Structure 1
Amino acid sequence: MFKLVFYLDFHFMPAPAAFGPSSLRPRLLALAAVTSVEFIENGMVMFSASQIMAGLQLSAADFAFAYTLYGMAAIFMLYKHQWMVERLGYARFVMLSLAVFGAGSLLCASASGLSLFAAGRLLQGLGGATFFTAGRLAINEMPAESRFAGLLVFIASLLGGSALAPLLSASLMALGGWRAIFAFGLPQVLIVAWLARGQLARTVTPPELRSEEHWGWLLWLCLGVFCLQYAIQSLSLAGSPLTRVLVTALVSIAMLSVFAWRQWRKDRPLINYRGLFQLRYLFGLAMYFFGYFLIGVAGLMLPILLHGVLGLSLLATALISSCGLAGTVAMALTHVALARRWPWHRCYMLGGLALYATGCLLLAMMELPRGWVELLPATLAIYLAIPWFLGPVAFGTFSGLEAKVFSHGYQVKNIVRQLGLSSSIALTTLLLHRLEHSPEPSGLLEMLAGVFVDQAAGTPMLQASQQVFGLTLLAILPVGLVVMLQRVFR
């Protein structure tokens, strides 16, 4: 889906340069190719989630488990990103990541059940986590006169890959079914490797300046992340004991806290938490998490609504999704133009949340639609809201960081991004499944059904979708209140 980070600060990065000396055009082409890999693949997987689950006969819990493994592997590699670059250089590291990503794509394409599919997604997470950070940090290493061009290419690769993903997914499934989505990863990595050849720096960091970390502690981190996401998912599973969920969540938080404490005490930490412990940065991370959580909800639910509820063809669904995503470009550029003259970050963030909430309200209260045109206002509102919310967050989060910790700050931000997305996809998948098959809602779900759902109209899938958007609307309200009252991003 459209993981939008449009607005970048240009600080010197202490890590090795991502791109070596070369003429500008091949370097920009390599930047676009490397950056777009994960965006295209994940966008296709989110768009075709229902078809993948049906083809592999996966339950909602199975699909959520595979996505959790992907997120856990990506977070592991994001923590290890600078460590790997310092020892391998970007040329070997990116090529190795492409090979791992391609191997994961092959496993997913040949899977016949959960085990092979989950293993493939884990490998895709290990390989795919490299590309976004590599592309982002490469811009800071470009000559000053080339950075604006690099910024435009970086943005275009994010938005272009995200907008292309639904159409590409529908076309590939028409040709070869859901397996073609993952088979596409093999020629994709070969093309990217060819475009990036000779453009990636081979510089490594001297041994005395390299970060240190024991692999065992990173495995400890992965276990903590997995337990935390398991606890989040279990909240939406019918019959999950609340006590066990809370205990799992507390244990995972304790494990992650121990890891952070150990990093805090190290002289050459993998992540310099001491340098990142700033109110502006921490608030920005919280907003990033919520923004990417909203992206995950939209990326999963809107195709399900258009294809699963309305019965539109995959191609028609893809066209609507791609057009909506393409509209985010105009909204992002509008925000850039306005923010340069009127940097009212809080107003833009509130506007984005209000627009997203309006889309959720329209979808939660709709009757059985007679055509896709009736869904268009709500769909566009949700798609166009994200740049207005995440744009100011990206503007403000990194502005107070020193140059020596900026790369660490961006690594942690990408970890939060991945955690927000994977949690969102897993939780939304399980919640939708539970609501669709729950005969009698209770508690908050019963209240939502009474407010938003006409029990006499619509299919169970439509009613479940309405409740998901209703819950999302309720989640936006307290965040909007926090944004309104805070004084960090003005």
Structure 2
Amino acid sequence: MAAANPQRPRMQIASHPEMGHWRLSLFGLTLGLVTGIDFSSTLMMGVASQHIQGGVGAAPADYLYAVSAYAATAVLMNMVLDQIARRTTYKRFTIASLLVFIIGSLLCAEAASPSGLIAGKAVQGLGAGGLFAASRILVQLVSTPAERAPLMLRFGGGAFAMLAITPWLTSIFLDDIGWRAVFLFQAGISLPVLLSVIATYPTRAPRDPHPPVSTLDWPAAIAAALGALVFLHTLQEMRYTRFFSSPQMPLAALLGVGLFAFSGWRLYRHPDPWIDFSRLAGRQYLYGLGFYTLYYLLSSAWAFLLPTLTQSGLGLTFRSTCMLLSTSGTVSAIGAVLITLGMALVFRKRRVIAIGFIIYACAAMLLSYQLMPGAPDYALVPVVLLEGLTPVLLMVQVASMTYLDLPVEDFSHAYQFKNVCKQIASASGTGLASVFMQDGLAAHRTHLVEHVTRFTPALQMPDALSATSLARISLEIDRQATLLAGMDMLHGFAALCVAMAVFVLLQKSFR
């Protein structure tokens, strides 16, 4: 009689034998959910921008300060993360960060003015800014390469699942509560994640071979925070102001770069810096960092384009746009689980990355094809299904290759710096997309207005020159200009993705 099949090996890690299979499974899922809180907070700030601006009475410049305040404090937390966690433990750092994030979310929900929103977003950034890096670093610290796959499976599933459910649930609550639901939901969903951190995270940390120094370099900290605020706000302000229209914006950008340079110089001289750049000179890591930066540039530009085109161009509702985003997030969550399970079977990862760029290009071209007046929301489902594959084929693949040559003790420095670059790249992508959209809108609107004459059919109606009719014509011109400018940008987006796919296949340094 045949012997019974052996039982499936239980999940375990040598550094924490006291953690059983189910606790480790929940631990990995919680790591991903913690990461997803940062992702979803940034996503919803962009998608619900019109509702939030109207709710607090914020002018565009005031709203940009709120976005920049979040990014600046997030950059600061990514820089000081390693030093704080080594003094406390990553569990305590995560618990404290989630509490700060909840407080910041409640402050945003209670904001009655632009200044209140700016203060709340700054507190939110202090809380959420280091969550992604802390979670990913903790995976690296507690597990060996052979033990890491089950944790990463749950990590990816949790992170992308948060992106899938957040837009959908927020859109439901927003209809009943208003714009405050964006932040109340963020605070509410963070509470069970916080409890899961307390229950599942390891109670003792592995011994740190590099104990922290006794003092932090506060001049560098202040310079980094101010540099991030000035530089990122300048990038965000490009939504509304041309960069070279006055000397103010170029000078502000130079000031931000100068403050970053001063902070880097201080870190270089420090005996135990927050980010040790001398450890990050490996060719594999630098190539991976470049691909990371490009991915976040593209994804932030897409995150700006899709809601703009669906709501301002096609006239879809906020709920319809959120449903499309949730569909994309669901595809990413399923794809992350499948690709992690089959990671050992994915050979020639450069080819997978190239396929990811081609799929991104196809999604952009398909969206441009669907930008027709009256297009229904279901016509965009194939677009978001394709776009949902790109994080798995691009970001996950790059992540699996970037850190291969880095020892464990250097991983925290590498991931902190990667997340600093992420914040800057995301702001740059949004700013550049805004600039190109402004230019396209101006050009197409001028061209469309030139073709409005007294022979235009809409002006032949009896009440054609009434204020209501003229306003309706103006709105239609704006809508058509938005669609045409969006088509131009999507064509350029697709061309850039194709060029990057060719570059990935030709270069030999990133294997």
* TM bucket normalised to smaller: 0.7 to 0.9
Aligned with 2:112: secondary structure? coil
Corresponding residue for residue 221 of structure 2:
218
Aligned with 1:257: secondary structure? helix
Decide which structure has the larger Cα Rg and report it: 2
Aligned with 1:462: secondary structure? helix
Corresponding residue for residue 355 of structure 2:
351
CA displacement at 1:417 relative to structure 2: 1.9
Distance 1:178 1:202, change over 3 A: farther
CA distance in 1, matches of 2:330, 2:129: 24
CA distance in 2, matches of 1:428, 1:59: 20
Asked if 1:408 is matched to 2:405, the reply is no
Contact 2:163 2:329 in 1 (8 A): yes
Asked if 1:311 is matched to 2:312, the reply is no
The correspondence for 1:466, drawn from 457, 480, 487, is 487
CA distance in 2, matches of 1:466, 1:350: 23
Contact 2:223 2:259 in 1 (8 A): yes
Asked if 1:103 is matched to 2:93, the reply is no
Contact 1:36 1:157 in 2 (8 A): yes
Corresponding residue for residue 292 of structure 1:
296
Corresponding residue for residue 133 of structure 1:
133
Corresponding residue for residue 231 of structure 2:
228
Aligned with 2:77: secondary structure? helix
**Which moves more between the two structures, 133-142 or 80-89?**
133-142
CA distance in 1, matches of 2:396, 2:293: 13
Task: Flag structure 1 segments of 5+ consecutive residues without an equivalent.
Answer: 1-11, 443-454
CA displacement at 1:292 relative to structure 2: 1.5
Number of residue-to-residue matches in the alignment: 462
CA displacement at 1:335 relative to structure 2: 4.7
Aligned positions of 1:18-167 closer than 5 A = 21-31=18-28, 32=30, 33-142=33-142, 147-167=148-168
CA displacement at 1:430 relative to structure 2: 6.2
CA distance in 2, matches of 1:156, 1:167: 17
Aligned positions of 1:400-439 closer than 5 A = 400-429=405-434, 432=437, 435-436=440-441
CA displacement at 1:220 relative to structure 2: 0.6
Contact 1:349 1:388 in 2 (8 A): yes
TM-score computed with the length of structure 2 as normaliser:
0.80
Contact 2:71 2:232 in 1 (8 A): no
Aligned with 1:197: secondary structure? helix
Distance 1:53 1:457, change over 3 A: closer
CA distance in 1, matches of 2:239, 2:388: 25
CA displacement at 1:377 relative to structure 2: 3.2
After superposition, give the CA deviation of every residue in 1:201-227 in whole Å (9 maximum; x if it has no partner).
365988982045312211111222233
TM-score computed with the length of structure 1 as normaliser:
0.83
Percent identity over the alignment is 24
CA distance in 2, matches of 1:131, 1:142: 17
Distance 1:39 1:247, change over 3 A: closer
Distance 1:166 1:208, change over 3 A: closer
Asked if 1:368 is matched to 2:373, the reply is yes
Distance 1:30 1:392, change over 3 A: closer
Distance 1:198 1:361, change over 3 A: closer
Aligned positions of 1:262-273 closer than 5 A = 262-273=266-277
**Which moves more between the two structures, 226-235 or 334-343?**
334-343
Distance 1:203 1:397, change over 3 A: closer
CA distance in 2, matches of 1:301, 1:194: 36
Letter in structure 2 aligned against 1:306: T
CA distance in 2, matches of 1:376, 1:167: 15
Aligned with 1:469: secondary structure? helix
Aligned with 1:256: secondary structure? helix
Distance 1:241 1:35, change over 3 A: closer
Corresponding residue for residue 450 of structure 1:
none
Letter in structure 1 aligned against 2:158: S
Could you say what the CA RMSD is over the residues aligned between the two structures, in angstroms? 3.3
CA displacement at 1:26 relative to structure 2: 3.7
CA displacement at 1:24 relative to structure 2: 4.0
CA distance in 2, matches of 1:20, 1:237: 55
Letter in structure 2 aligned against 1:393: V
Asked if 1:489 is matched to 2:510, the reply is yes
Letter in structure 2 aligned against 1:29: L
Corresponding residue for residue 263 of structure 2:
259
CA displacement at 1:274 relative to structure 2: 0.6
